[in-house]
Amino acid sequence: MSACIGASAAGARAVTASSSQGIMYMMEVLPVASGMRLPILMAVANRAISAPINIHGDHSDAMMMRDTGWIQIFSENAQEAYDNTIMGMKIAEEALLPTAVNLMALSLLIAWKMSAYLKIVKWKDLLGSLLPRTIFLILKIPKPLGR
C-alpha cells in the first residue's frame, strides 16, 4: 500500500489487491491514503482473519477498513466484481478517495460462471486519461506533507 500511495501521489494510477492478513498489514497506512485524498483502487477478496489459517469467506477484513475513509463497493458475483473494478477506478478519481472493491473470497473466486469482459481498449476508453488534480511529489517544488 505504501508503494500505491507513492505512485498515486506522483500522479500515476495505482491499483493493488489483498485480503485478510494483508489488509491487517496495511492498516497503518490505509487512513494515510484517504487523508491525502489519493485515488487508489484495491480489489479485496474478503476472507476471515486467520488463526492459524482460514480460507472461508468473511467480512472481517472489510469491517477493519470501515473507519479508514475508504469507499467500499461490495460485489455479489464475478460479473459485478469486474464491472465494479472499472467503475471503482472512475469513482476513486472523481471523489479523490481510495476505493475498495470487495468480493466474497471462497464462494466467488472459485465460481465457474461465464462473465462478459471488455477488451483492454474499451477499458481504457471508459476510464480515459488520468488527469491528476493533485500531485504531491514534484521534485522541483518540494513541499512537506502532514504538518
- pLDDT at position 79 is 84
User: If you average pLDDT over every residue of the chain, what do you get?
Assistant: 84
Which domains does the chain possess?
2-127 (3.40.50.970)
Tens of pLDDT, residue by residue over 80-130, are 888 899 999 999 999 999 999 998 877 665 666 666 666 666 777 777 777
Q: Write out the three cell numbers for 143.
A: 513541499
DSSP result, 107-131: HHHT---------HHHHHHHH----
